[in-house]
Amino acid sequence: MATNTTRWTPDTCPSPGCTVEYTWDDAVPAVNRVHTFSRVVGTCTAHGTATGSALYTILLNENTRKNKAVVTTVAALPAVFPSDPTVTWAYDDKRNLSIVTGTAATALQQSTIQTALNTALGSGAVTVVSTATAVIGGNVKLG
């Protein structure tokens, strides 16, 4: 049994991003593993007022929501996102998450994606848009 420390800078923060450390036990199977907040190394402009474990929880929630939104988007409309999909996401300055379809999806397809996101993550958790003004955003390539 060894306690490990991981330094994490999530991709959901504007640069320079927040960096936190958490600990975990490598003797525990990954499916049962618990990550325990250890310390804040640095904060970004979007999260400047959050501190300690509250910041870690915010970062984890935002990153998890983004990842679930990307997977849900691809699952909802595989015809728009073929076998080697890239999904674009963006957080605005109020930390609202959008999935950005660009011209890849019609209005009806965007509606289908939005319905799937509402079902998976709750109404209002993510918005599907054609374009977005992002404070931070990125592409997630699946496959």
How sure is the predictor about 133, in pLDDT bands with cuts at 50, 70 and 90? low
* pLDDT at 101 (0 to 100): 85
Tell me what the pLDDT averaged over the chain comes to: 88
* CA–CA separation, 15 and 44 (whole Å): 7
Query: In terms of pLDDT, which residue wins out, 63 or 132?
Result: 63
For residue 60, the one-letter residue type is L
**Per-residue pLDDT tens over the stretch 26-56:** 999 999 999 999 999 999 999 989 999 999 9
In contact, 108 and 79? CB cutoff 8 Å? no
* Token pair recorded at residue 34: 């618990």
pLDDT at 7 over 80: yes
* pLDDT at 92 (0 to 100): 85
For residue 116, the one-letter residue type is A
SS3 85: coil
* pLDDT at 134 (0 to 100): 58
**Burial of residue 67, with CB atoms counted within 10 A of its CB: 0-12 exposed, 13-18 middle, 19 or more buried:** middle
SS3 81: coil
**Per-residue pLDDT tens over the stretch 73-128:** 988 888 777 766 678 888 888 899 999 887 778 899 899 999 999 999 999 999 99
Laid out side by side, the sheet with 97-100 consists of 126-129, 97-100, 86-91, 136-141
Note the helical H segments in the chain.
Answer: 52-76, 107-121
* pLDDT at 120 (0 to 100): 96
* CA–CA separation, 67 and 80 (whole Å): 18
Q: What are the DSSP calls for 123-138, one per residue?
A: TTSEEEESS---SEEE
Residue found by looking up tokens 């988007």 in the block: 73
